[in-house]
Amino acid sequence: MNTKKRRQKSIVILAAGKGSRLGERSRPKPLTRFLGMPLLERTIRAFRACGAREFLVVTGFRHREIESFLEKLSKRLNDVTIRPIYNQRWEMGNGTSFLAAAPHVKEDFVLTMCDHVFSKDLMVLAMTKAPPPGGMGLFVDTRTDNPVIDKDDATKVLIEDERITAIGKGLKRYSGFDTGLFVCSRQVFHHLDALSLDSTPLGLSAIFQYLSDMGHTCAYEIRNGFWADLDDLNAFKRAEKALFMLLRGKAHDGPVSRLLNRPLSIRLTSLLVNTPITPNQVTLVSFFLAIVASLFLTKDSYLWFAMGGIMAQLASIIDGCDGEIARLKWQQSEYGAWLDAVLDRYADAFLICGITWHVANYHSMGNAGWLLGTIALVGSLINSYTADKYDGWMKRRKKVQRFRLGRDVRIFLVFLSTIFYRPVELLVMLAGIMHTENIRRMWQLRTG
């Protein structure tokens, strides 16, 4: 019950800065695109994917343009509430933007900046963490060798006796880096009334140091997860490179996906992610290519048959792009995952039917060819059906899959067999390998 309540924390996003370090690209910075999506929209979508439903966005520089954007975004994301808060003193530092949110916050909240990106595990952790009583908790990255972070520019944190004693960019001795992700108590503003009247520039780090001196802060040390502060163009490039590298580590990738498909699909995704193309549109393109490939496989010609195999492999590579784009742009949806799974099954069936047609009609096998194709088709479909349950079972028991036989291997066998023109052998291999793997999975789940 408590977990559910904590997951409903509101998210306060500071988006008032000018972003002068990004040059002309940063006018205004919250709407600067990173991997094809405005920074502010990326932050909202990311926390929305973690369960957040209320967002308070503190604006400043060119606030009307940002507020207009938020109004349109709110209509597209109709399951969340987005409330802009204009900070008239935004030029006096991001500390004043934090104070501007005070009258609008009614509960404990998560605080972040629009130009910071985080992996899902860190955001979920922030939404489930309880803040210190009446204070602020800061997520501190204690990986001082984190390659994504510019050590010279990062805000540093010193932790002594389990409490934060100093914070700032100029610290010579430090324990880790300020990630820009905070968990705050609603009562924290009670300690800051005097600061709100100060006419000098006020940074968030100064507010945190002030609270720390009074004993109202704590550090949540992290040693895993991804985060990045997108202060300048070099930070953009480092973060992009790191996020694309993370795409390579999908847990359920088979050997062909890991060694061939994923490296190629990531290169294609790096181009597509900066376009308006949606993950579902990529799914449909992949399916269309598979259908065309299956028609080529029915032709009585080596050239057409080989072209069918090449196109099937191309469809398999592109099939990885939809999930990659969805993860990079926080556009994952249950419908998208379901559509991808259903169309993959249809594509598999059409490809095997095309090969079976070819074998039955052009290799003098007749009914024997149809029977062999039916056995291969059933084995392949059951292999796909059992994959999700089997992968979930392996994950729950923290078992490592050293070699995964799935769709990537199946399509690659189609590709190789068409190039070397071995359609009969292909059906035999699909029938034998897929049914053997299905039996192995059932046996492993039975014996535990």
Return per-residue pLDDT of the chain as tens, 448 residues. 333 444 468 999 999 988 766 765 556 899 999 999 999 999 999 999 999 999 999 999 999 999 999 999 999 998 999 999 999 999 999 999 999 999 999 999 999 999 999 999 999 999 999 999 999 999 999 998 888 998 888 999 999 887 889 999 999 999 999 999 999 999 999 988 776 555 678 899 999 999 999 999 999 999 999 999 998 889 999 999 999 998 886 667 788 998 999 999 999 999 999 999 999 999 999 999 999 999 999 999 999 999 999 999 999 999 999 999 999 999 999 999 999 999 999 999 999 999 999 999 999 888 999 999 999 999 999 998 888 788 778 777 777 666 678 899 999 999 999 999 999 999 999 999 999 999 988 888 888 7
2-236 against 248-447: fold identical = no
Instruction: Give the contacts of 363 (CB within 8 A, at least 6 positions apart).
Output: 369, 423, 424
CB 229 within 8 A of CB 154: yes
> DSSP secondary-structure letter at 441?
H
- CATH class belonging to 2-236: alpha beta
CB 434 within 8 A of CB 379: yes
Q: Residue 15: beta bridge partners?
A: 59
What is the spatial distance between Cα 324 and Cα 332, in angstroms, rounded to a whole number? 10
Block residue for tokens 């967002």: 55
What is the spatial distance between Cα 422 and Cα 367, in angstroms, rounded to a whole number? 18
Token pair belonging to 301? 């010609």
Token pair belonging to 447? 């014996």
- Give the pLDDT of residue 24: 54
CB 87 within 8 A of CB 16: yes
Domain boundaries, the chain: 2-236, 248-447
What is the spatial distance between Cα 11 and Cα 112, in angstroms, rounded to a whole number? 8
CB 60 within 8 A of CB 53: no
Block residue for tokens 């944190």: 157
What is the spatial distance between Cα 168 and Cα 209, in angstroms, rounded to a whole number? 9
- Give the pLDDT of residue 3: 39
Q: Domain spanning 248-447 has what CATH number?
A: 1.20.120.1760
What is the spatial distance between Cα 409 and Cα 44, in angstroms, rounded to a whole number? 37
Closest CA to 369 of 377, 411, 304, 309: 377
Answer left, alpha or beta for residue 366, where phi above 0 means left and psi between -120 and 50 means alpha.
left
* CA diameter of the chain: 91
